[in-house]
Structure 1
Amino acid sequence: MFNLNRRQFLLRSTLAIAATVTYDQVQAQKPASPGALPKGLPRRKVLIIGAGISGLVAAYELTAVGHDVTILEARKRVGGRVLTLRGAFQGGDLVELGAARIPPNHHLTLSYIKHFGLRLSQFAPTSGKYLTMKDGKRILVTAKELFQNQPQIRPQEIQKLTDGFDLLPQAFAQALTDKIKLDDPVARIVQTSNGVEVSCLSGQQYLGDFVLCTVPLTVLNQITFSPDLSPAKKQAAAGGYNYRAATRCFVKFPNRFWEKDNLNGWGFFEDEELWHTTWDKPEKTGILHAYLKGKKALDIDAFEGKAQQTKLLQHWEKILPGVTNYSVRSHFYSWTKDIWSKGGWAYPTEEQEKKLFSELGKSEGKIYFAGDHTSKTRGWVQGALESGLNAAKEIHFAGSTVPLMK
């Protein structure tokens, strides 16, 4: 077991205690939610498939106005593609395997973070030199030079959750503890004249007035629907709507050798980013992170174990000469290999988006749909929140004469 420092101990103790607190008790201590729904409409029984951000925010807001909500999650944890690994290399090391940063214009994300009282800090440094490549050669640039053609991007304004991004889904889940069923994949969803029947692989069955399905398109075809889904959704779920491959690679070094050249350990390249995730920590050791996308992610996914680490270090030699000389430890996570994601985020071609996007978020009878693939803000927590709230509003106002709030 890894040793916990005082902050980690207090944090986990707080989470454990919070898990026993009722929804009303949690709500009474918080300011109004940024996605709050109006009260006074008929109470419904809602079954939500997936405990990622979309499912959690929908459940949170629907519960707040009196709906009877149950979340069915295939994984043994909440959060979906938000996943924080603590103690990856012993001690207090914390690495983000999924969502990691928040742009300043993602107001809904920032509002929920404020709502739950979570701590924010600066994501990346403004000092030191950034790495990039031009014509196959390594180039060192300042933050100002790197982003001169993108004035809307200012490194000092991009933030992270100081104590781990997983605290956001956990904050939602704390108020929904008895409503979340983990490790119970859904196998079948049947619409009847009386509502919707959901059957899980475990044999457990649930009945509801409505279903909200938030699973990624890449795994949607593992669920049988009766009646069938629309042709557009079936096409998208059968591979007709691309997903971006994404792999996160973390390597811990005994010292921050790159700093002797005034490098801050950060760089941006085609389908690849380099982050020094411990840049704001006082330790002499340092963790470098390769965020690989597309073909680069698939290439590194072809290796395992020590061979995967060796391949990454050899790849880094072009930008960090001498990196292969160090004795290191590493951790890799592929979202393409994750059986409940099978990809990082929806990444459609222009033709796919034009043909299918408008259909993905449309309800079908008593079944509603959410997930970042139904939002234009794909690949971000912001998109997941937006889509979850939109679906929650549709369900809340379903069958009501009250106009749907915008």
Structure 2
Amino acid sequence: MAAPEKKSQPHVCVVGAGISGLRCADVLLQHGFQVTIFEARERIGGRILTQPEGLTPMKHATGGKHPIRDLAIATSTPLHTWNSHQNIYTSSGTLLPKAKAASLSTLLWDIIEEAFEYSEAHGASIPETASLYDFIAEKVIEKIPGDDETAREDRKLVSEMSEMWGAYVGHPVSRQSLKFAWLEECCGGEEMFIETTYESIFEAISKPALDGAVIQLKKRVTKITTPEARNSSKISVTTEEGQKFEFDEVVLTTPLGWLKRNKAAFQPALPERILQGMENISVGILEKVYITFPTAFWTEGLEDNFAGYTNWLSPAYASDTNPHQWPQEIWNLAAFSPENRRPTILFYIYGDCSTYITTLVRGKADAEHYTLLDAFFKPYYSLLPNFEEGKAECKPKAILSTEWQKDELNGNGSYCNFQVGIKDAAGDVKAIREGCPERRLWFAGEHTAPFEELGTAAGAYMSGEAVGTRIAEKYKAI
């Protein structure tokens, strides 16, 4: 009797070699699949490797599942938890007393937590036009009653402080949907930073794919042709060079912004519900500016007690460079453990401000890039303790800035968010997350993550893992 013919391993194409794609490949390899990864860049790593020096924040709810935190611990990557101190400068440039800054900040975050709870409990009845700012403005009046000057000033301060919500989602708080604010609840967790780089974490994530998958770099996908039914044919992928490949399954891990701009790449067209989801979910425009000085002059004499972050509210004193009074926020990277400290402040900018800054320096030579950014940010860092005009220690050595919204492969933005007017954000996420298994097409990425980790690196990792597991389970059932 002839031996039965050995069944070949199913072959899966993963489009995109970021966190979600690499994790998906790892899971598939563990289940015996052949995996080919197409990556449009000349390197793997996606958005995780677009940070200057790799520095990036990491939020998590204490006690919750967080694979990136767990990988950081496993790889001895140092983590930093910020102290509870903060500096808040008013619109006139005056530093608020610490007690008042702490009290108002606590009040604001209590209101935001209430908004999350209210959103989740009453979302069905909340108007689509309602914003998170609307909720905050109403609660501020309730929690700071009275018509005296102090009450009015405190209400104004809390309202201005709420604008910094944009540094979490990439758009102003007035555009954040209240109806679906609960989908942003991960932003309420403990704030942590990786003190060094993602290098060790990334090595752990990427090693299985590097060892077991075929990775093709500079391979830009332009067309994906899906069968009308699973059993009718395989799924084909066409690249920019006109090469055509066939696979048993394809997993798209490209950013949401890329999907929005490349819907026509899918033939036949994607189901209407998925197209709606891609259109309805927004992409944030969050950027970062790192300013490094010869020394951390702002911490001199303060040791470890300098605030973890500093806010400049609606600055009215920089009308020549910031006439729109965009608020500013920094994280103090000199607060890291002694071996990892650096004399650097990290500005988070979002919305119109980030678009302005990115456009301002786009294509500029290094010297002009430095001059333009220093002119914009100096009104803020010059208010920090111990600043002296003309002092060498107070003149930046280097200024680095991200340009995500100018990067097509980053989806021309940062991460997904949910803006006023969206009708069924949870359904939109679920639709994209479900994908088209009947057409051998799947989606992964931070925009398809579990609700508690949407818009995060951990969410991207978890989404890749989930899709890999789903594909493996489907083949087990065959």
TM-score by length of 1: 0.74
Going from structure 1 to structure 2, the CA distance change for 1:56 and 1:109 (only over 3 Å counts) comes to: same
Stretch moving more, 284-293 or 69-78: 284-293
* Distance in 2 between residues matched to 1:290 and 1:207, nearest whole Å: 45
Match for residue 405 of structure 2? 336
* Alpha-carbon distance between aligned partners in 1 of 2:209 and 2:248, rounded to the nearest angstrom: 19
1:183 maps to which of 218, 221, 229: 218
Distance 1:378 1:344 in 2: 12
Partner of 2:347: 290
Check conservation: 2:77, 2:201, Cα contact below 8 A: no
Measured after TM superposition, the shift of residue 246 of structure 1 is: 1.0
CA contact (8 A) 2:27 2:469 kept: no
CA distance 1:295–1:77, change in 2 (3 Å): same
Q: How does 1:114-263 map to 2 (within 5 A)?
A: 117-126=74-83, 129-134=85-90, 137-139=94-96, 141=98, 148-149=106-107, 158-177=191-210, 178-192=213-227, 193-220=232-259, 221-222=261-262, 224-235=265-276, 237=278, 240-260=280-300, 262=302, 263=306
In structure 1, what is the equivalent of residue 442 of structure 2? 368
Matching residue's letter, 2:469: K
2:285–2:404 Cα contact (<8 Å) kept: yes
Structure-2 residue corresponding to 1:6: none
**Contact between 2:82 and 2:191, CA under 8 Å: does it hold in 1?**
no
Once residues 14 and 25 of structure 2 are traced to their aligned partners in structure 1, the CA distance between those partners, rounded to angstroms, is 7
Question: Hey, what's the Cα distance between the residues in 2 that align with 1:401 and 1:249?
Answer: 50
2:47 to 71, 75, 81: 81
For residues 347-386 of structure 1, the aligned pairs below 5 Å read: 347-352=417-422, 354=424, 356-364=428-436, 365-375=439-449, 376=451, 377-386=453-462
Distance 1:159 1:141 in 2: 22
For 1:179, the aligned partner's letter is V
TM superposition shift of 1:78: 2.0
In the other structure, the counterpart of 2:358 is 301
Q: For 2:293 and 2:220, locate their aligned partners in 1 and report how far apart those are by CA, in whole Å.
A: 39
Q: Which amino acid aligns with 2:204?
A: A
2:469 to 380, 393, 404: 393
Question: Quick one: distance in 1 between partners of 2:291 and 2:250?
Answer: 42
| Matching of residues 306-317 of structure 1 within 5 Å | 306-317=371-382
Sort the Cα spacing of 1:285 and 1:394 in 2 relative to 1 into closer, same or farther, 3 A.
closer
- Describe the SS at the equivalent of 1:82: helix
Q: Match for residue 66 of structure 2?
A: 108
1:294 CA drift (Å) = 2.1
Unaligned residue ranges in structure 1 (runs of 5+):
1-40, 89-93
1:201-259 CA deviation, whole Å, 9 max, x = no partner? 1333322111111111211233611111122433455x543211111101111122212
| Structure 1 pair 393–122 and aligned structure 2 pair: CA distance change class (3 A) | closer
Which residue, out of 330, 337, 350, partners 1:274?
Answer: 330
Question: In 1, Cα distance between the equivalents of 2:246 and 2:300?
Answer: 62
Q: Following the alignment from structure 1 to structure 2, what is the Cα–Cα distance between the partners of residues 388 and 65?
A: 14
Q: Distance in 1 between matches of 2:83 and 2:372?
A: 34
Give 1:74 deviation, angstroms: 1.3
Distance 1:338 1:105 in 2: 35
TM-score normalised by the chain length of structure 2: 0.64
| Greater RCO (Cα-Cα under 8 Å, separation 6 or more) | 2
Cα distance change on mapping 1:347 and 1:283 into 2, 3 Å: closer
Q: Is the 8 A contact 1:48 1:72 kept in 2?
A: yes
TM-aligned CA distance change 1:274 to 1:300, over 3 Å = same
Name which of structure 1's ranges 104-113 and 307-316 shifts more when overlaid on structure 2: 104-113
Q: For residues 351 and 230 of structure 1, do their structure 2 counterparts lie closer, same or farther at Cα, with a shift above 3 Å needed?
A: farther
Pairwise CA distance, 1:184: 1.3
Secondary structure at the residue paired with 2:335? coil
Flag the 1:267–1:114 CA change in 2: closer, same or farther, 3 A.
closer
SS at match of 2:356: helix
How far, CA to CA, are the matches of 1:347 and 1:163 in structure 2? 27
| Partner Cα distance (1:76, 1:146) in 2 | 47
Q: Percent identity?
A: 20
Deviation at 1:134, TM superposition (A): 4.9
Distance in 2 of aligned mates of 1:138 and 1:250: 22
State the one-letter code of the partner of 1:132.
I
Deviation string, structure 1 residues 263-283 (Cα, Å, up to 9, x no partner): 346225677531122323469
Q: CA deviation at 1:72?
A: 1.0
- The answer on whether the counterparts of 1:272 and 1:293 sit within 8 Å (CA) in structure 2 is no
> Within 5 A, what are the aligned runs for 1:15-94?
43-83=9-49, 94=53
Matching residue of 1:20: none
Q: How many angstroms apart in 1 are the aligned matches of 2:214 and 2:201?
A: 17
**1:336-362 residue CA offsets vs partner (Å, 9 max, x unmatched):** 122211111011225436163332212
Residue-pair matches, total? 350
- Cα 1:175–1:260, aligned 2, differ >3 Å: closer, same or farther? same
Tell me the SS of whatever aligns to 1:228. Answer: coil
1:321 is displaced (CA, Å) by 8.3
Q: Are residues 125 and 390 of structure 1, via their aligned partners in 2, closer, same or farther at CA, if it must alter by over 3 Å?
A: closer
Q: Is the 8 A contact 1:368 1:391 kept in 2?
A: yes
Report if the CA contact (8 A) 1:346-1:379 is conserved: yes
3-state SS of the aligned residue for 2:424? helix
Give 1 or 2: higher helix fraction: 2
Name the amino acid aligned to 1:248: K
Alignment RMSD (CA, Å)? 3.5
Corresponding position of 2:395: 327
* Unpaired runs of at least 5, structure 2: 1-6, 114-185, 314-326, 362-368
Could you tell me how far apart the structure 2 residues matched to 1:383 and 1:297 are?
Answer: 24
